[in-house]
Amino acid sequence: MTITATKDDFTGTATSSANGAWNIGVPEQGTYTVELDESTLPEGIALAEGQENPRDVTFSQTSNLSVIFAFGEGIVVQQQDFGQNLLNRLVAGLSFGLLLALASVGLSLIFGTTGLTNFAHGEMVTLGAVLVFAFNALGLPFWLAILLALLGGGLFGYAQDRGLWRPLRRRGTGLVPMMIVSIGLALAVRYVIQFYFGGATQQLPYAQSPEIQLGPVSISPNNLWSLGISAVVIALIGIVLLKTRLGKATRAVADNPALAAASGIDVDSVIRIVWITGGMLASLGGILWAYYRPGVTFDMGSAILLLIFAGVTLGGLGTVFGALIGSIIVGIFVELTTVFGLAADLKYVGALFIMIVVLLFRPQGILGRRERVG
């Protein structure tokens, strides 16, 4: 398609390449009018609703500037009344918060039982989505791809503990060095994923999901599924932790590893199970995150790592139910800030800011125990 930029008596024209990129050189900084010739668009593609065309762009302090024309149905500019919008964002935030909780509950369990603040948890999230994409691309049925991705996540958790963290625990490596090791692991795994997956954004099957009206709320079926799945899984984890022998043993190890060993609990095997569970939960969170965004990228997990940390920290490091509540607060907060006028590209800022503020007044987090803070 053809794009034209004009200012005073200057006119520059460019034709976009196959991937939609275009470039117009201009003689000087200033305000230009950029227009997309809609008649040159490929058949079946229209400019997204609310996309200004032509539009004025100004650049004064840089030598280049991007102008993006968004296409398709997916990008619809919301024009709802405030209450409606609030409700929709609240539900979307709950859905987002619960998928964050999947990752943060695992992170919190790992922290609780081993003391490790795992910066590679974001990559465990990414792995789930990437594996679904890969298995699906290999021609496996969708359900099998998801199942294998969850298993892959569990296996990654197991391998991490077996190959790295358990030997380090045996050596008596301190918590701060382990944290830095986890950063190295995060970098290495992130770029291994990019090495094979590439830098592009890919979509999982059924990623297109137009919103439906459900009572007073409009929500996409994918979000609804995500909400339901994460709520059920987290409820299951909660029941396991509270009611079963293994769950109680896990809490016992998190509470007091030495005493757990003195009671006859095999602490290493409990930690191994925690890593496998954490890996599977992160994988599931990653798959749901790929639908929520939507899209799969090699750095999708590290993009929400800080939100996961924020959820865990808000709730109190090492408390599982705190991680759940913290994540829901973060999810809802991220979505609601846009309703109250914060720009969409700043929506993570609010969540990170609230985490810092909470730590200022309640360093142990919402549900944390005071003695956990040194």
Interaction residues for another protein, span 139-198 (CB under 8 A): 164, 168, 172-177, 179-181, 183-192, 194-195
End-to-end CA, the chain: 61
Given 5, 131, 237, 252, the residue binding another protein (CB under 8 A): 252
The answer to whether residue 200 forms part of the interface with another protein (CB under 8 A) is: no
Q: Residue 181 or residue 328: which is nearer to another protein going by CB?
A: 181
Using CA atoms, how far apart are residues 150 and 282, in angstroms rounded to an integer? Answer: 9
Of 34-42, 75-83, 144-152, 265-273: span binding another protein (CB under 8 A):
265-273
Q: How far is CA 272 from CA 80, 200, 359, in A?
A: 49, 34, 31
Judge residue 147's burial from the number of C-beta atoms within 10 Å of its C-beta, 0-12 exposed, 13-18 middle, 19 or more buried: middle
In single-letter form, the type of residue at position 148 comes to L
Residues of this chain, 315-354, that bind another protein according to CB under 8 A: 317, 343, 345-346, 348-349, 352-353
- Sheet (strand 55-59) strand order: 10-15, 2-7, 30-36, 55-59
Residues of this chain, 208-237, that bind another protein according to CB under 8 A: none
Q: Residue 152 or residue 316: which is nearer to another protein going by CB?
A: 316
Judge residue 200's burial from the number of C-beta atoms within 10 Å of its C-beta, 0-12 exposed, 13-18 middle, 19 or more buried: exposed
Angle between helices 300-315 and 267-292 in degrees, nearest 10:
120
Residue 147 CB, nearest approach to another protein (Å): 28
Q: Residue 102 or residue 351: which is nearer to another protein going by CB?
A: 351
Q: Residue 275 or residue 291: which is nearer to another protein going by CB?
A: 275
Q: Residue 174 or residue 228: which is nearer to another protein going by CB?
A: 174
Tokens representing residue 77 in the block = 């500019």
Residue 95 CB, nearest approach to another protein (Å): 22
- Asked if residues 212 and 218 have their Cβ atoms less than 8 Å apart, the reply is yes
The answer to whether residue 261 forms part of the interface with another protein (CB under 8 A) is: yes
Given 79, 139, 264, 370, the residue binding another protein (CB under 8 A): 264
Residues of this chain, 30-89, that bind another protein according to CB under 8 A: 58-66
Sorted by sequence, the CB contacts under 8 Å of residue 251 that are 6+ apart come out as 241
Q: Residue 144 or residue 175: which is nearer to another protein going by CB?
A: 175
